[in-house]
Amino acid sequence: MMKIALIQDAPILGDVEATLARTQQIVRTTCGENPVDLVAFPELFIAGYLPEHWSSMPTVEDERRWLERMRCLAAESQVCTS
């Protein structure tokens, strides 16, 4: 049976790095307390803000960097994230 953790949390608006740090904390806590196979976050959570708050669109390089951090977190925690 697959165990899924659905996260209902708000990003730290305008601060992707802080949101990524918060994401790491959530995944580590969730996986440490009750191991799961998938941790699902709200749409656009990692971006740290909603599109209407963007003064400029993130670059492809920004997105690659964010995804690499999430990939490393998933590998370290042995969990899928979305």
Q: Kindly tell me the burial class for residue 68, based on how many C-beta atoms sit within 10 Å of its own C-beta (0-12, 13-18, 19 or more).
A: exposed
Question: Which letter, b or e, does each residue of 47-58 get, where b requires 16 or more Cβ atoms within 10 Å of its Cβ?
Answer: bbbeeeeeeeee
In angstroms, rounded to a whole number, what is the distance separating the alpha carbons of residues 40 and 54? 23
Q: Three-state DSSP class for 75?
A: helix
Residue with more model confidence, 45 or 9 = 9
By the 8 A CB rule, do 27 and 73 touch? yes
Predicted pLDDT of residue 36: 86
Instruction: State pTM to two decimals.
Output: 0.71
User: Tokens standing for 56?
Assistant: 């400029």
For 32-67, write each residue's pLDDT tens digit: 778 888 888 888 787 766 666 666 667 788 888 888
